[in-house]
Amino acid sequence: MNKIDAWLLTEGAHGMISQVEGLAKALNTNYQHKKIIYNSFWNFFPPALSPKKSIVFNFEEIINEKTEIQRPALLISCGRKSVIPSIVLKNLFEKKNNKKIFNIHIQDPKISPINFDFIITPEHDSLKGENIIKSKGAIHYISNEEIEIARQNTKSKNSVTVVLGGPNQYYSFSLEELKAIFHRIDRFFSDTVDEVKIITSRRTPEEVINFLKEKYLNNSKIVVDSSLSRQNYVEALAEAKKIIMTSDSISMITEAATTGTPIYLVQMKAKKNDYRFNKFVELFKNLNITKDLDTNEEHWTYDKLYETKRIAEMLKTKII
């Protein structure tokens, strides 16, 4: 496929950016990120009850005459707030250009699939249709090549990487719960590895980060990295002999599965039942990617997962 211009529509959350950018790179596009901001009370309406009109979002800011890419051939959106903008912009550009503009939405848009050329959803979602493409977990922007390059640039050592998420609608992510988790991590790993690297995310509560920095202040073996650096994150995943992930982020767990490294999953206490996540965990356990932190198994293998590339190859035959 020739290199085409693409707009990436999200509300700016890291997990959404990772998905749209990952697909845009795998499709070899010239891309621009466009942050979607809803206008006034439209924030409270789901896509199915919102008008398919420019009044819903920051339309004039998105359609700026100084924008480098004026008329993209492809729109890639992710998340609830990007649903209506994707539909509105597709219709606008098709009328202006008098040619087909493709729009791809990632995640269930909670609106009729016919509004999109393609929808990419995880297997644990129940969405069905001719234009639905299923992924194992979430697609993302970390590639096999990037992991291998990072491995070549890191020292070989027996290290564990711990990746922390944060609170969301299903998990409270309390400090007391994290204290208990790190007590288990200390018991299982601190005396048997060369280094434990703790990577925090944008959602990790400040009190959790401060607790960890104080707890391991005088422990040279344990590093707490709250820099939010993408390079540090990728390197920490690449160099680890074992990875420990909290259970609040399907996106981060799927990113870690690109490494082929054993992943221990820490099941956080749920505020309410998350049947989608339960199906995701079951899938990844069946693929031998993840095991519970308390398991006695220390070494296992699985096929590296890079759904972004697989799905991009499928789309390249359909998008001209």
Asked if residue 298 is part of any domain, the answer here is no
- Residue 112: which of 127, 122, 134, 123 has the closest Cα? 127
Using the predicted structure, report yes or no on whether residue 29 has a pLDDT greater than 70.
yes
Asked if residue 15 is part of any domain, the answer here is yes
Judge if 179 and 199 occupy the same domain: yes
Do the Cβ atoms of 32 and 67 come closer than 8 Å? yes
Residue 54 carries which DSSP code?
G
Give the pLDDT score at 70: 64
Average pLDDT rounded to a whole number, residues 93-115? 94
Average pLDDT rounded to a whole number, residues 21-25? 96
Supply the pTM of this predicted model: 0.87
Q: pLDDT confidence of 66, banded at 50, 70, 90? A: low
Give the pLDDT score at 269: 86
Give the pLDDT score at 13: 86
Asked if residue 303 is part of any domain, the answer here is no
Q: What is the pLDDT of residues 297-318, one digit of tens each?
A: 888 999 999 999 999 999 998 8
Judge if 45 and 127 occupy the same domain: yes
What token pair was written down for 105?
Answer: 């939405």
Judge if 94 and 152 occupy the same domain: no
- Residue 242: which of 177, 293, 282 has the closest Cα? 293
* CA dihedral sign, ordered 302, 228, 248, 155: positive
Judge if 33 and 106 occupy the same domain: yes
Q: What is the pLDDT of residues 227-286, one digit of tens each?
A: 989 999 999 999 999 999 998 888 899 999 999 999 999 988 888 877 888 889 899 999
Look at the chain and report how many structural domains it folds into. Answer: 2
Average pLDDT rounded to a whole number, residues 143-150? 91
Asked if residue 301 is part of any domain, the answer here is no
Q: pLDDT confidence of 24, banded at 50, 70, 90? A: very high
Asked if residue 297 is part of any domain, the answer here is no
Judge if 73 and 168 occupy the same domain: no
**β-sheet with 74-78: strand ranges across:** 30-35, 5-10, 74-78, 102-106, 118-122, 132-135
Judge if 120 and 189 occupy the same domain: no
Asked if residue 189 is part of any domain, the answer here is yes
Judge if 167 and 97 occupy the same domain: no
- For residue 186, the domain's CATH number is 3.40.50.2000
- Residue 57: which of 90, 33, 81, 80 has the closest Cα? 81
Q: What is the pLDDT of residues 181-221, one digit of tens each?
A: 999 888 888 778 899 999 999 899 999 999 999 999 999 89
- For residue 28, the domain's CATH number is 3.40.50
Q: pLDDT confidence of 67, banded at 50, 70, 90? A: low
How many CB atoms are closer than 10 A to CB 41? Answer: 7
Using the predicted structure, report yes or no on whether residue 292 has a pLDDT greater than 60.
yes
Asked if residue 304 is part of any domain, the answer here is no
Structure-model confidence comparison of residues 40 and 136, the more confident one: 136
Domain residues for 210?
Answer: 144-292
Judge if 131 and 179 occupy the same domain: no
Judge if 77 and 180 occupy the same domain: no
Asked if residue 65 is part of any domain, the answer here is yes
User: What SS3 state is found at 114?
Assistant: helix
Structure-model confidence comparison of residues 82 and 14, the more confident one: 82
Judge if 123 and 148 occupy the same domain: no
- Residue 107: which of 85, 143, 87, 137 has the closest Cα? 137
Give the angle 228-109-5 at the CA atoms, nearest 5°.
65
Judge if 128 and 151 occupy the same domain: no
Question: Rounded CA gap, 207 and 211, in Å?
Answer: 6
Judge if 241 and 154 occupy the same domain: yes
